[in-house]
Amino acid sequence: MPSKKTPFDIVRPLAMQLSGTTESKAWGSPAFKVDGQWYVVVPTHKTAERGSLAFRVDFAQRAELLESAPDAYYVKEHYQNYPCVLVRMDRVSPDALKGLLKMAWLSAKKKRK
């Protein structure tokens, strides 16, 4: 029986198309980074829902995402003060995922400057 792909496995081919992306670890968890800054990570805090990934976004972008699709995007108390949004991967469309990856990648690139 073939194993089911994890959300991180699903994102991998798209993330690796973004310039300078490396697969690494952040907080001991699988992550994609650019210029040494994470932009997608498997969340490690116990409040994150199974099947979610954390994407680096600024607070204004996060507010827009939460308002636009609260069934797909969420934040738990632990993550409130961090520039990221948690994503229920089974509720985000492939097109939205591509846009979100680019947004997170750009956010990490800005962080480096």
Query: Residue 16 has which token pair?
Result: 């690796």
End-to-end alpha carbon distance in the chain: 46
CB-based contacts of 105, cutoff 8 Å, min separation 6: 15, 18, 21, 34, 39
Domains and CATH numbers, the chain: 7-112 (3.90.1150.30)
Query: Which pTM value belongs to this model?
Result: 0.94
pLDDT band at 84 (very low <50, low <70, confident <90, very high): very high
- Strand ordering across the sheet containing 84-88: 21-26, 29-34, 37-41, 52-56, 84-88, 73-74
Kindly tell me if the per-residue pLDDT of 5 is higher than 60: yes
Report, as an integer, the average pLDDT of 13-39: 96
